[in-house]
């Protein structure tokens, strides 16, 4: 993954919801082209930040009788009913919320919201497929990223 857009996970209620933050800075290269005299975070990147939080929620909440050698990973399959209300600018702290709507054996649906200074900036619904991925490199990268995102957070289960 080229873009790691979530900076920190601040809350986790297993099987229900997760909260996180994304800080928008002028050092982000995408802001220099979008737009040169009026930099804003592209809406698709706000959705991606929410998808990263939602994927974490789904993966860590997945119940397993025993750990799999190749853990299943959440792959974004559908973006639905997404609306943008306020663009994010350099200096903004985007507060993200992912709420598990439905979880089935091979898929999950998550409602996502983003706000800036208490004002809604985005909301939508994301659907994920769960797939086993036979790649130690993928799993090592995901675990390292999850450890960074959850630093200081007491997790109720081990990172998959």
Q: Residue 43 to residues 14, 31, 131: CA-CA distances in angstroms? A: 28, 12, 27
Among all residues, which ones are annotated catalytic? 34
Give the count of beta carbons closer than 10 Å to the beta carbon of residue 53: 28
Q: How many domains does the chain contain in total?
A: 1
Domain annotation covers residue 22: yes
In tens, the pLDDT along 90-119 reads 999 999 999 999 888 889 999 999 999 999
Domain annotation covers residue 95: yes
Mean pLDDT, the chain, whole residue set: 92
In tens, the pLDDT along 35-85 reads 888 999 999 999 999 999 999 999 999 876 566 566 899 999 999 999 999
Domain annotation covers residue 159: no
- Domain range for 59 is 8-149
In tens, the pLDDT along 62-72 reads 876 566 566 89
């Amino acid at each position: 993954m080229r873009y790691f857009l979530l900076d920190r996970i601040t809350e986790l209620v297993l099987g229900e919801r997760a909260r996180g933050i994304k800080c928008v800075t002028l050092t982000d290269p995408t802001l220099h082209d979008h737009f040169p005299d009026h930099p804003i975070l592209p809406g698709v990147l706000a959705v991606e930040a929410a998808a990263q939080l939602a994927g974490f929620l789904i993966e860590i909440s997945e119940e397993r009788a025993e750990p799999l050698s190749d853990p299943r990973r959440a792959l974004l399959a559908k973006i639905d009913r997404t609306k943008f209300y306020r663009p994010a600018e350099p200096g903004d702290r985007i507060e993200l919320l992912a709420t598990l709507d439905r979880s089935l054996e091979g898929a999950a649906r998550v409602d996502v919201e983003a706000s800036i200074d208490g004002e809604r900036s985005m909301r939508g619904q994301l659907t994920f497929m769960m797939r086993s991925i036979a790649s130690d490199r993928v799993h090592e990268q995901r675990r390292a990223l999850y450890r960074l995102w959850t630093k200081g957070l007491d997790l109720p289960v081990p990172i998959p």
